[in-house]
Amino acid sequence: MNAIEIKNLKKSYGKTLAVKGISFNIRKNEILGLLGPNGAGKTTIIKILAGVLTKDSGKIKILGKDPDKEKEFVANRMNVASPDSELTGIMTVYQNLKVYGKLYGVKNIKERIDYLLDLFEIKDLKHQKLKHLSKGQSTRVLLCKGIINNPEVLLLDECTLGLDPHIAYKTRKIIKELNATILFTSHNMHEVEWLCDRIAFMDKGKILKIGTVSSLKKLIKTEKVKMKFDKSEGLANFFKKLDIKILSLKGDTVVFEIDYKKHKLQDLIEKITKQGFKINDIIIKKASLEDIFIKVAKREL
Amino acid sequence: MKFYRVNALLYKYLKISTNRLERIFDIVYWPVIDLFIWGFVLRYINKLGAVHGSFNFIFGGIILWVFCWRAQQDIAVYVLEDFWSRSLYNLFASPLKLSELVVSLFIFSLMRSILTFGFLFLIAFVLFSFNIFTINLTALALFVLALLLIGWVMGIFISGVIFRYGMQVQIFAWSVAWLIQPFSCVFYPLSSLPGWAQKVAVWLPTTHVFEGLRQVINTGIINWNGLAYAYISSLVLLVLSCLFFKRCVEKAKKLNLLTSHE
Ligand SMILES: Nc1ncnc2c1ncn2[C@@H]1O[C@H](COP(=O)(O)OP(=O)(O)O)[C@@H](O)[C@H]1O
Ligand SMILES: [Mg+2]
């Protein structure tokens, strides 16, 4: 069952076409990562889903309902955390969270707030005014707000920005353990790879690729290989003859890109030893999400 | 409409008020200064031997004007508070309905108006021995409600303008009520205005409230026609201003004004 369905969504700001007819679904309790360069249109999509921005055209269903027609039903079961949003600076952390607890009709607000503050390790900030917190601290308060109603659908727009590594790790773990359908954007590839069930790459208002991390990785048919030999003379020539692209050659160490459409690593190694070279060390660097990202952005995939 | 969401906003407005000195100043500072200035001026005029009795409707005018003024300004300023804190994104992503926002603004501005009214009543009573409750209480209650409605009309209207045009128009939050005050005949009768000004003033619901106030103080008679005009016109305007507000918010959502902060 799909928790979020988006069909041919379009949005422009004046003359800027920010989202150019996007369609995708998110299954119930799935975490979908939205990746893309700055200005790709990720935030625009999140704002439209959150109900703070009106789409130009297209169809959206959240939990099976049209959010424009059944705003209350949808909004009660959804929440959002984004650094674009803030809470009231002159009020304390507790007061702010209480306001949203009440707005979302949360039962036992006090206990819920204490639990959340404890979870994000900001219990000691409970009675501090929000304007006195650091960026990372207020981001944690925003995250508390984002899950205060135990949302079934959660929109997270660069919500780990500015968190220290320990809290960022903890936040990822918290997010992963939530029983929620999550749309997640971030520029941290490792985070996205670790957290998300599926990933959608977008650029200039369009989705270029969508799939699981491993299915996307399969799209890349090349790997980087680093080999260390017992001698250096003749290496450059030898690789040239084999039609293999050398990325760097320093003394007895060669880094090259192997294209599996043309070569098999096994055959290559045989050829190398036949030629009288001895391989002392070999490192194969698998394609990372970052490599995919760059290739997709360059339209090489 | 869910009362627990209205309650959430009332709680927020209360905490903003107690955490921000200006919001406490609003309630007391300017209204009390206004009262002192008029009080001293009247004392002086009285010594010069002016007609007695003018005292009462001027004091009555100052104190009742507060409902119009506070209601307008509070609605606009508490809407601005959410702009200043950039919390509109979170607010509008929540289940809150526009009607609940408007109702909580109505209720909160009413509570603050009553507080200011209380202060002014006390000062006028203690220092200038003017007791507003000597006026016919039915009439007084009707005047207060009519002025509140007009204050809400102006407050909601200007809030709509703020949603549409952002904080560059925030000065109107403090000044709209004052724009209509000279034409509302708060301190002087309609007949004392120059001809062109009368033509404007006679349309304002506020004029009919203050004319009615003077009549009740002078003769004890309630001018029901004037009151009916004030109520009908301000209720119509209230509906119109709420529709205008709704349209402005919808437009702001289209233009991404709720979440982009200039
Ligand atoms: N308020 C706005 N007015 C005009 N253009 C905007 C506005 N907000 C975003 N844009 C443009 O829309 C495009 C998508 O922006 P955004 O959704 O914020 O991208 P992302 O979150 O992927 O970085 C960008 O080209 C950006 O410049
Ligand atoms: Mg963004």
Cα–Cα distance between A234 and A229 in angstroms, integer?
11
Query: Would the CB of A160 count as within 6 Å of ligand 1?
Result: no
Cβ distance of A90 and B19 shorter than 8 Å: yes
Task: State yes or no: pLDDT of A28 exceeds 80.
Answer: yes
Q: B182: part of which helix (H) or strand (E)?
A: none
What is the β-pairing status of strands A206-211 and A2-13?
unpaired
Bridge partners of residue A7, in order along the sequence: A59
CB A205 within 8 A of CB A40: yes
Interface of A with B in 56-75 (CB under 8 A): 71-72, 75
Cα nearest neighbour of A88 on chain B = B85
Cβ distance of A91 and B15 shorter than 8 Å: yes
User: What residues contact B144, with CB distance under 8 A and at least 6 apart?
Assistant: B64, B67, B117
Does residue B218 sit at the A interface (CB-CB below 8 Å)? no
Query: Would the CB of B259 count as within 6 Å of ligand 1?
Result: no
Counting the structural domains of chain B, the total is: 1
Minimum-distance CB partner of B93 among A13, A72, A80: A80
Ligand nearest to the CA of A158: 2
Confidence label for B49 from pLDDT (cuts 50, 70 and 90): confident
Task: State yes or no: pLDDT of B215 exceeds 80.
Answer: yes
Cβ distance of B87 and A88 shorter than 8 Å: yes
In three state form, how does the secondary structure of chain A look? Answer: CEEEEEEEEEEEECCEEEEEEEEEEEECCCEEEEECCCCCCHHHHHHHHHCCCCCCEEEEEECCECCCCCHHHHHHCEEEECCCCCCCCCCEHHHHHHHHHHHCCCCCHHHHHHHHHHHCCCHHHCCCEHHHCCHHHHHHHHHHHHCCCCCCEEEEECCCCCCCHHHHHHHHHHHHHCCCEEEEECCCHHHHHHHCCEEEEEECCEEEEEECHHHHHCCCCEEEEEEEECCCCCHHHHHHHCCCEEEEEECCEEEEEEECCCCCHHHHHHHHHHCCCCEEEEEEECCCHHHHHHHHHCCCC
Please report residues of A whose CB lies closer than 8 A to that of B4. Answer: 102, 105
Confidence label for B261 from pLDDT (cuts 50, 70 and 90): low
CB A78 within 8 A of CB A152: yes
Task: State yes or no: pLDDT of B28 exceeds 90.
Answer: no
CA dihedral A214, A24, A36, A172 (to 10 degrees): -60
Q: B148: part of which helix (H) or strand (E)?
A: helix B137-165
From A172-186, B46-60, B107-121, the region with the lowest mean pLDDT:
B46-60
CB A145 within 8 A of CB A70: no
Query: Relative to the CA of A205, which ligand 1 atom is closest?
Result: 14
Query: Would the CB of A13 count as within 6 Å of ligand 1?
Result: yes
C-alpha closest to that of A187 among A213, A154, A158: A158
Cβ distance of B19 and A76 shorter than 8 Å: no
- The residue-averaged pLDDT of A72-95 equals 96
Confidence label for A146 from pLDDT (cuts 50, 70 and 90): very high
DSSP classification of residue B6: H
Does residue A288 sit at the B interface (CB-CB below 8 Å)? no
Cα–Cα distance between A243 and B65 in angstroms, integer?
89
pLDDT recorded at residue A76: 98
Percent of chain B surpassing pLDDT 70: 97
Cβ distance of A102 and B11 shorter than 8 Å: yes
CB A272 within 8 A of CB A225: no
Ligand 1, pocket-test mutation among A11, A16, A48, A208, most atoms within 8 A of CB = A16
What pLDDT, in 10s, does the model give residues A170-220? Answer: 999 999 999 999 999 988 888 999 999 999 999 999 999 999 988 888 888
- The residue-averaged pLDDT of A126-150 equals 96
- The residue-averaged pLDDT of B10-18 equals 97
Cα–Cα distance between A97 and A113 in angstroms, integer?
7
Cβ neighbourhood burial of A194 (10 Å; 0-12, 13-18, 19+): middle
Q: What is the mean pLDDT of chain A?
A: 92
- The residue-averaged pLDDT of A2-11 equals 98
Query: Would the CB of A12 count as within 6 Å of ligand 1?
Result: no
Please report residues of B whose CB lies closer than 8 A to that of A63. Answer: none
Q: If you measure from the C-alpha of residue B188 to the centroid of ligand 2, how many angstroms do you get, rounded to a whole number?
A: 58
Output B54 or A45, whichever has higher pLDDT: A45
Output B50 or B216, whichever has higher pLDDT: B216
Confidence label for B52 from pLDDT (cuts 50, 70 and 90): low
Cα–Cα distance between A29 and A6 in angstroms, integer?
16
Cα–Cα distance between B181 and B120 in angstroms, integer?
18
- The residue-averaged pLDDT of B210-215 equals 93
pLDDT recorded at residue A246: 85
| Amino acid letter for position B140 | L
pLDDT recorded at residue B262: 58
pLDDT recorded at residue B54: 61
pLDDT recorded at residue A268: 87
Cβ distance of A104 and B256 shorter than 8 Å: no
Query: Would the CB of A186 count as within 6 Å of ligand 1?
Result: no
Cα–Cα distance between A160 and A107 in angstroms, integer?
27
Confidence label for A21 from pLDDT (cuts 50, 70 and 90): very high
- The residue-averaged pLDDT of A244-268 equals 85
Cβ neighbourhood burial of B262 (10 Å; 0-12, 13-18, 19+): exposed
Q: If you measure from the C-alpha of residue A139 to the centroid of ligand 2, how many angstroms do you get, rounded to a whole number?
A: 15
Minimum-distance CB partner of B85 among A72, A86, A95: A86
C-alpha closest to that of A287 among A229, A233, A218: A218
Query: Would the CB of A74 count as within 6 Å of ligand 1?
Result: no
CB B173 within 8 A of CB B73: yes
Q: B189: part of which helix (H) or strand (E)?
A: none
- Residue from A55, A102, A147 to probe the interface with B (highest B Cβ count within 10 Å): A102
pLDDT recorded at residue B58: 86
DSSP classification of residue B222: -
Confidence label for B51 from pLDDT (cuts 50, 70 and 90): low
- The residue-averaged pLDDT of A14-18 equals 94
C-alpha closest to that of B225 among B253, B196, B245, B205: B205
For B18, the token pair is 């107690």
C-alpha closest to that of A209 among A289, A95, A147: A289
Cβ distance of B89 and A76 shorter than 8 Å: no
Cα–Cα distance between A219 and A86 in angstroms, integer?
40
Task: State yes or no: pLDDT of B247 exceeds 70.
Answer: yes
CB B108 within 8 A of CB B135: no
Query: Relative to the CA of A14, which ligand 1 atom is closest?
Result: 4
Q: B77: part of which helix (H) or strand (E)?
A: helix B54-84
Sheet holding A181-185, edge to edge: A78-81, A153-157, A181-185, A31-35, A198-203, A206-211
pLDDT recorded at residue B53: 57
Cα–Cα distance between B123 and B125 in angstroms, integer?
5
pLDDT recorded at residue A247: 87
Sheet holding A253-259, edge to edge: A245-250, A253-259, A222-229, A279-285
For residue B88, what are the domain limits? 3-260
- The residue-averaged pLDDT of A247-252 equals 87
Query: Would the CB of A33 count as within 6 Å of ligand 1?
Result: no
Task: State yes or no: pLDDT of B136 exceeds 60.
Answer: yes
- Residue from A52, A63, A127 to probe the interface with B (highest B Cβ count within 10 Å): A52
Query: Would the CB of A38 count as within 6 Å of ligand 1?
Result: yes
From A267-276, B2-11, B229-238, the region with the lowest mean pLDDT:
A267-276
User: What residues contact B44, with CB distance under 8 A and at least 6 apart?
Assistant: none
Q: If you measure from the C-alpha of residue A81 to the centroid of ligand 2, how many angstroms do you get, rounded to a whole number?
A: 12
State the nearest Cα–Cα gap between B109 and chain A, in angstroms.
Answer: 19
